[in-house]
Each structure stands twice: as C-alpha cells, then as structure tokens.
Amino acid sequence: MLAERVQITEEKLLSDNWYILKRFTFNYLGRNGQWTTQQREAYDRGNGATILLYNPQTDRVILTRQFRLPTFVNGNRTDGPYSGMLIETCAGLLDNDDPETAIRRETEEETGYRIQSVQKVMEAYMSPGSVTEKLFFYIAHYTADTERNAGGGIDEEEIEIMELPFQQALAMMESGEIMDGKTIMLLQYLRLQQLTNASNS
C-alpha cells in the first residue's frame, strides 16, 4: 500500500461561531520526494444538495431567489443598488440526512413541492481551495399535479419561488442575471440532455 503523502499534525479551531473554520498544519510529501510543512485554513459547513425542478410538459423550471450576503459583499448588485439577491436552484445543507432525503426536505421547505422520484446527476466540490463542502446534484420532474404547499423556507429565510421557461433561464445565464455556479451546472446539464435526446431521436 502507498504511504499517505499527507500527515495532519495540528487542527486549530479559529471559529465555531456558526460553522467551523480551522487552520490545519500538515506535512506534505511533494513530487520531488521532499516533505514540507504547510498550513491551510478550511471552512466546514458540512455537505449540501441542490436540485433543478423541471416540468417536461411546459418546459419550465423552478428556481429560487434570496439574499446572499457573501455575494453582496463581493459586488452583487444585480437587482438595484442594494440588492445582493441571487437566483439559484433550490439547495440546502444535509444536516444529518443522506443527500436524497435532504434534497426532498429542502425542496418542500423552499419551493413547497413534494416531489416523487429524483435523479442524481453528479457530486462536486464547489470551492476546493477553502471550503470542505461537497455538493450533491439532482434533477426532478414536477407537473401541475405535483402536491405542493407554500414553500419560502424556514426561520428568517425569505425565499422567492420563480417558475420560468427553461429557455428564459438559459438566456438569463448568458446575460449574467443567473450567476450561481450550481445553478449554471444544472441548467447546462439539462440543456445537454435535451440536445443528446434530440440527436438520438
């Protein structure tokens, strides 16, 4: 068995105010065969799941819109001078659930839809230089008959639900109105699926 090329020698808790920020000290075996000691900070908020809801009868999608402070701090003024609003696929942290249970729960909490089968699409580290999180991606169908309640999120969350034509969502991605990574990945995935299906039929 190959020897580990990484030995973590110290974990220092820098903040556990909300999620967990730690500084790791570790020995790292470089490609040149030399060990060096390095430090990196990593922000651990657990893993998450996200979902694109698609209505194949109407060719529409469900997205959410909410205030995201980190984007505001980093210049997001897409909806007027003070906004910080971001359009996203429904998403949430796993908490202690498995990804599929978590995405069903989040879908109902945020969009109100009680979906049946979900299709797993991929898993991805979204910000691997500093955030530990792995995100699980799903697509599910909804129709006019899908059972639903109000949605909108829990606690202080003010989540707007947007239903819009898929083509419009694609146009908004190109115009920069949609600028969230997971959302762009799922919209592009669906687009590719449609193109593949069309060329096979």
Ligand X SMILES: Nc1nc2c(ncn2[C@@H]2O[C@H](COP(=O)(O)OP(=O)(O)O[C@H]3O[C@H](CO)[C@@H](O)[C@H](O)[C@@H]3O)[C@@H](O)[C@H]2O)c(=O)[nH]1
CA distance 149 to 159: 14
Binding to ligand X in span 160-179, by CB under 6 A: none
Q: Which is nearer to ligand X, 118 or 135 (CB)?
A: 135
CB of residue 91 to Mg ion, shortest distance in Å: 5
Min dist CB 125 to ligand X, Å, is: 11
Would you say 49 or 190 has its CB closer to ligand X?
Answer: 49
Burial (CB count within 10 angstroms: exposed 0-12, middle 13-18, buried 19+), residue 2 = exposed
Residue 106 among known ligand-binding residues: yes
Binding residue for Mg ion, selected from 48, 84, 92, 151, defined by CB under 5 A:
92
Map the footprint of ligand X across residues 78-107, applying CB under 6 A. Answer: 91-93, 106
Among 50, 52, 61, 169, binds ligand X (CB under 6 A): 50
If one asks whether residue 18 binds ligand X (CB under 6 A), the answer comes out as yes
Angle, to 10 degrees, between the axis of helix 166-175 and the axis of helix 181-200?
130
The 10 Å CB-count burial string (b at 16+, else e) for 128-164 is eeeebbbbbbbbbebeeeeebeebbbeeeeebebbee
When CB distances to ligand X are compared, the closest residue is 48
Least distance in Å: CB of 92 to ligand X?
Answer: 3
- Residue 157 annotated as binding site: yes
SS3 4: coil
* 169 annotated as ligand-binding: no
Residue 91 labeled ligand binder: yes
Query: CA nearest 135: which of 23, 63, 48, 24?
Result: 48
| Rounded distance between C-alpha atoms, residue 109 and residue 153, angstroms | 5
Beta-carbon contacts of 16 under 8 Å, excluding residues fewer than 6 positions away, are none
Q: Which residue positions form the known binding site for Mg(2+)?
A: 91, 106, 110, 157
Using CB under 6 A, list all residues that contact ligand X. Answer: 18, 48, 50, 91-93, 106, 133, 135, 157, 182
